[in-house]
Amino acid sequence: TGAAAFLYDEALAALTEGGRTFPLVFDVYCGVGTISLWVAGATDRVLGIEENRAAVQDANFNCRTNNIRNVRFQAGRAEGLLSRAVRDASGPAAAIVDPPRSGLTPPVLRCLTAGAIRRVVYVSDVLRVKSKTTRKYVDGEGEYVVDIEQHTINQRCDDVLPAQATVALPSREHGTWPL
């Protein structure tokens, strides 16, 4: 949908902000791989991590259908897969997370704040931000709003990410809810 494309464009912009590129991007809780495929052109390699095996099968199908060759998906718990992948990373990496309602687990948070990960983009559909929202976007018809938060945040449950985190999320502030 247009709203999803708008949100994914903002997540991509957050990923590449300041002209920074990362040779490796982790898409944690990737589902069917939509965000992984969306950002594939901005990096050398994307690793999508998803616990739901059926979703990973669909993600692989989407990857083949779209002829995207630099994206791989792994099925399993984010805690274990991300920990190993970060440990094995040979250079700076970024992570995009779109976690379940329960939020990020402490082991995933530790992975995001240590090691090779230099930028975190947090995609959320819940607006509970502790810090000031820095930018807002509304399309020409006023239908979508995406807030970008660039400081310590508190999102689903008690997720608190480091200062390098950027959050892309729809907003209810203007009565819009695109997703």
Arithmetic mean of pLDDT, 49-57 = 97
Tell me the per-residue pLDDT of 86-138, one tens digit each, with 9 for 90 and over: 999 988 999 998 887 677 788 888 888 877 888 888 886 544 433 333 334 44
- How would residue 20 be classed by pLDDT, with cut points 50, 70 and 90? confident
Residue 125: per-residue pLDDT: 55
Residue 123: per-residue pLDDT: 81
In the chain, which ranges are continuous DSSP H helix?
Answer: 2-15, 34-39, 53-65, 78-88, 106-113
Arithmetic mean of pLDDT, 61-69 = 96
More confident residue, 141 or 45: 45
Percent of all residues in the chain with a pLDDT value above 90, rounded to a whole number = 41
> pTM, whole model, 2 decimals?
0.75
More confident residue, 102 or 19: 19
Instruction: State the Cα–Cα distance between residues 41 and 131, nearest whole angstrom.
Output: 31
HSE at residue 177, side-chain half, CA atoms within 13 A, is 5
The contacts found for 57-64 with CB under 8 angstroms, 24 or more apart, are 58/32, 58/33, 59/30, 59/31, 59/32, 59/33, 60/33, 62/32, 62/33, 62/34, 62/37, 63/33, 63/36, 63/37
Q: Mapping DSSP to helix (H, G, I), strand (E, B) and coil, where does residue 89 land? A: coil
Arithmetic mean of pLDDT, 141-164 = 42
Q: Is the pLDDT of residue 71 over 70?
A: yes
